[in-house]
């Protein structure tokens, strides 16, 4: 099977964690941008990447690079690709694009040109054309067009991989599943110590933590990927990869605690965890974050409080952040504390010195994952509490 460039997209800023995941799976990182990493492999390799990557959004398999100065050249070059070998005349195709070409004001025009070239080509070769439209649940072709440089990919994922399929009840301001996974990977936690998540909301962090601790493939739950709608889909390989991933999933050797002040949120988190198959591994409770029962021993304690843009008001939140500092000092010794926030001023109210500030984006909002070492005994007062 032919190798090609594979472009893996991710949320802005997550690239370092995606790159690490790729290298661990034995794929090279050929180049990177703020929202993606390029590697190489076969179309079959994309099945494994879709199943195993925790931080990726989409896995794009390169079909061809070419030059097109305008829409007519785009149509001609697209018509030369043997689409009949990838897409069935009885199938359905959607074209997505990212276009930065002075002659194209509306990307939809480029999409229509590509779609026309694909369906005209298939009709010429097979006597019938596939249906087309905006749905990304079957064959998806992606065009990247910058200046006169075009790259055409098969989008093997379609719907972003963040949609794992377990979050049926999102609640307010939920964290994207892939961002939650990246945040946990950034802490270095892998199930060795306990995982405590007050303010759990819909439970995304706790569920992703359970997946990581179990070494459970994040894509096992999802039933549809676009590669399944590409001709030559190797169903036997897919079944083998799934079986192997299930075999490699281990046991939990730590405690995972998730709490929230809202009963509705905890109910939602519990139901989401049940859909994800990890409800029995997470200890849920309804309580104020400061009342969370922190297991004896060590591990990480991670909070994603509101930060005043989508929910909550700044004044009220100031005392919440100050309270988190007190909670860390009084109840979390021996742990590493983390706060994920998009508000640097509120973070200052915590009153502890962060030993690391890891940059992230939540949508367009620049965020930080702040890490606090909560030492036992005297080292704590020397090194982490601000004067
Ligand atoms: C930004 S949301 C967390 C979203 C979560 N990471 C997710 O993926 O769904 C903040 C959560 O903090 C909870 N919360 C607010 N004040 C709280 C408090 N004093 N104690 C415990 N939870 C609180 C809210 O109910 C909400 O679910």
Reported for 262-266, long-range contacts at CB under 8 A and 24+ positions apart, including other chains, are: 262/171, 262/286, 264/171, 265/171, 265/200, 265/201, 265/202, 266/200
pLDDT of 245 > 80? The answer is yes
Q: At 180, which helix (H) or strand (E)?
A: helix 177-187
The CA distance from 208 to 305, in Å, is 18
Q: Is 362 in the pocket of ligand 1 (CB under 6 A)?
A: no
156 lines ligand 1 (CB under 6 A): no
- Tally Cβ neighbours within 10 Å of residue 124: 11
159 in contact with ligand 1, CB cutoff 6 A: no
Q: What is the pLDDT of residues 353-374, one digit of tens each?
A: 999 999 999 988 999 999 999 9
Ligand 1 closest atom vs CA 305: 10
Residue 377 has pLDDT above 70, yes or no: no
28 three-class SS: coil
Q: Is 116 close to ligand 1, i.e. is its CB under 6 Å away?
A: no
User: How remote is the CA of residue 199 from the centroid of ligand 1, in Å?
Assistant: 4
How much is the mean pLDDT over the chain? Answer: 94
Print the SS3 string covering 56-85.
Answer: CCEEEEEEEEEECCCHHHHHHHHHCCCHHH
pLDDT of residue 272: 96
Beta carbon of 261 within 6 Å of any ligand 1 atom: yes
Query: Average pLDDT in the 95-109 region?
Result: 91
The predicted-structure confidence for 124-179, as pLDDT tens digits, reads as follows 999 999 999 999 999 999 999 999 999 999 999 999 999 999 988 877 789 999 99
291-320 average pLDDT score? 88
User: How many Å apart are CA 375 and CA 384, to the nearest integer?
Assistant: 8
Helix (H) / strand (E) element for 312: namely none
- Tokens 């079909």 appear where? 63
N-terminal to C-terminal alpha carbon distance within the chain: 62
Query: Quick one: pLDDT at residue 289?
Result: 98
Structure confidence at residue 311 as a pLDDT band (50, 70, 90): low
Read off the pTM.
Answer: 0.94
Q: What is the C-alpha to C-alpha distance for residues 160 and 157, in angstroms, rounded to an integer?
A: 6
Q: How far is the CA of 304 from the centre of ligand 1 (A)?
A: 7
Distances (CA, A) of 73 to 113, 123, 249, 358: 10, 20, 49, 44
CA within 13 Å, CB half, 190: 3
* pLDDT bucket at 376, cuts 50 / 70 / 90: confident
User: Which pair of structure tokens corresponds to residue 51?
Assistant: 């199943």
pLDDT in tens, 56-99: 999 999 999 999 999 999 999 999 999 999 999 999 999 999 99
Higher pLDDT, 135 or 381: 135
Mean pLDDT of the region 204-222: 97
Mutate which of 195, 199, 302 for ligand 1 pocket (most atoms within 8 A of beta carbon)? 199
The verdict on the CB of residue 205 being under 6 Å from ligand 1 is yes
262 lines ligand 1 (CB under 6 A): yes
pLDDT at 387 over 80: no
């Amino acid at each position: 099977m032919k190798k090609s460039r594979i472009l893996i997209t991710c949320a802005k800023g997550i690239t370092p964690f995606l790159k690490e995941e790729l290298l661990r799976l034995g794929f090279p990182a050929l180049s990177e941008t703020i929202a993606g990493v390029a590697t190489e492999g076969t179309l079959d390799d994309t099945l494994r990447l879709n199943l195993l990557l925790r931080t990726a959004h989409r896995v794009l398999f390169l079909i061809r690079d070419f030059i097109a100065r305008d829409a007519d050249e785009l149509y001609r070059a697209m018509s030369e690709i043997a689409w009949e070998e990838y897409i069935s005349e009885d199938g359905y195709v959607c074209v997505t694009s990212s276009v930065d070409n002075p002659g194209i004001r509306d990307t939809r025009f480029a999409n229509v040109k590509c779609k026309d070239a694909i369906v005209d080509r298939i009709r010429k070769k097979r006597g019938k054309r596939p249906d087309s439209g905006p749905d990304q649940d079957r064959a998806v072709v992606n065009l990247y067009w910058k200046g006169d440089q075009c790259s055409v990919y098969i989008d093997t994922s379609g719907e972003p991989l963040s949609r794992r399929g377990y979050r049926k009840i999102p609640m307010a301001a939920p964290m994207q599943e892939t961002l939650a996974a990246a945040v946990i990977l950034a802490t270095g936690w892998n199930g060795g110590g306990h995982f405590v998540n007050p303010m759990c909301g819909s439970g995304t962090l706790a569920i992703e933590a359970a997946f990581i601790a179990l070494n459970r493939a994040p894509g096992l739950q999802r039933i549809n990927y676009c590669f399944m709608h590409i001709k030559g889909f190797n169903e036997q390989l897919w079944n083998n990869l799934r079986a192997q991933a299930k075999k490699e999933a281990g046991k939990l050797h730590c405690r995972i605690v998730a709490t929230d002040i809202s009963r509705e949120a905890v109910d939602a988190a519990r139901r989401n965890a049940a859909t994800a198959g990890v409800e029995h591994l997470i200890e849920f409770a309804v309580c104020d974050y400061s009342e969370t029962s922190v297991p004896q021993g060590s591990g990480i304690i991670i909070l994603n409080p509101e930060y005043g843009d989508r929910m909550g008001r700044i004044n009220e939140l100031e005392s919440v952040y100050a309270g988190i500092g007190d909670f860390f000092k009084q109840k979390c010794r021996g742990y590493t504390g983390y706060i994920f926030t998009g508000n640097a001023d509120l973070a200052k109210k915590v009153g502890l010195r962060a030993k690391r500030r890891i940059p992230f984006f939540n949508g367009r909002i620049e965020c930080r994952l702040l890490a606090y070492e909560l030492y036992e005994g005297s080292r704590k007062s020397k090194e982490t509490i601000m004067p």
